[in-house]
Copies of this chain bind each other. A is one copy, B any other.
Amino acid sequence: MENLYDILEKSPIFNGLGINDIQLLLNEINYQIKKFTKDELIAMRDDQCNALLIVVEGSVKGEMLDLSGKVIKIEDIEAPRPLASAFIFGKQNRFPVDIIANGDAKILKIAKPDVLIMFQKSEQVLKNYLNAISNRTQFLTRKLFFLSFKTIREKIAFYLSELYKQQQNDKLILPLTQREMSELFGVARPSLARGFAELQDLGMIDVDRKTITIRNKRDLLGLVNQ
């Protein structure tokens, strides 16, 4: 395993801190490193979530059962990302999904009281944590908004109109990957690609990898303003 501090330096929770700062900070609190092997259960849905967990080696996945009992994978979380950070505080502080190791994995575990000590000792770590939870809330707020559109074309047109407001240019650079966009829109990746292709066939946009050129702004915006 790579040195713990080297790994944590790349974690969003310790963003902006040097290896020495992280070492000093961890020396002031209690923490554990837990090892897991492939398919081992790390936490069960509805288990109390009372510690900050950061994947420091390997990767884990969030899973849940759908109504028919079939397993649905929600997402993979790889080192050095934190797990379920929005579920340590708040009223419903329980894991929203099962957490399972994808292979050999190590998890850094910091109990909630020690997390609070860390926040008092390092404003940077506090800000990083606030950013992490706020990003999650902001993502979910946008995702709920996108769910109110009926078709994929409407979602894409609305998204491009937002980018146009920000970038003020007919040539738009997509800031999200295909995976991130399909997650935000709540649609499968092939359907998303088909949506872009249809708008291109209709002469509204040109697609060239990450660059979208708007060809017919009126018709494109018309899709979301009817």
- Interface set of A (CB-CB < 8 Å, partner B): 46, 67-69, 86-93, 96, 116, 119-120, 123, 126-127, 130-131, 133-138, 140-144, 147, 154, 165, 224-226
Contact partners of A86 in chain B: CB under 8 A? 133-134, 137-138, 141
The count of identical subunits is: 2
Choose among A87, A96, A137 the residue with the greatest number of B CB atoms under 10 Å from its CB. Answer: A137
Structural contact, B225 and A131, CB atoms closer than 8 A? no
Contact partners of A68 in chain B: CB under 8 A? 225-226
Structural contact, B127 and A116, CB atoms closer than 8 A? yes
Structural contact, A134 and B133, CB atoms closer than 8 A? yes
Structural contact, A135 and B90, CB atoms closer than 8 A? yes
Structural contact, B226 and A134, CB atoms closer than 8 A? no
Picked from B135, B147, B165, the residue with its CB within 8 Å of the CB of A147 is: B147
Structural contact, A67 and B126, CB atoms closer than 8 A? no
Structural contact, B134 and A67, CB atoms closer than 8 A? no
Contact partners of A127 in chain B: CB under 8 A? 89, 116
CA distance A89 to B125 in the complex (A): 13
Using A123-B116, A133-B130, A133-B133 as known contacts, say yes or no to A138 and B91 having CB atoms under 8 A apart.
yes
CA distance A191 to B165 in the complex (A): 37
Using A137-B136, A147-B147 as known contacts, say yes or no to A225 and B67 having CB atoms under 8 A apart.
yes
CA distance A24 to B187 in the complex (A): 51
Contact partners of A143 in chain B: CB under 8 A? 144
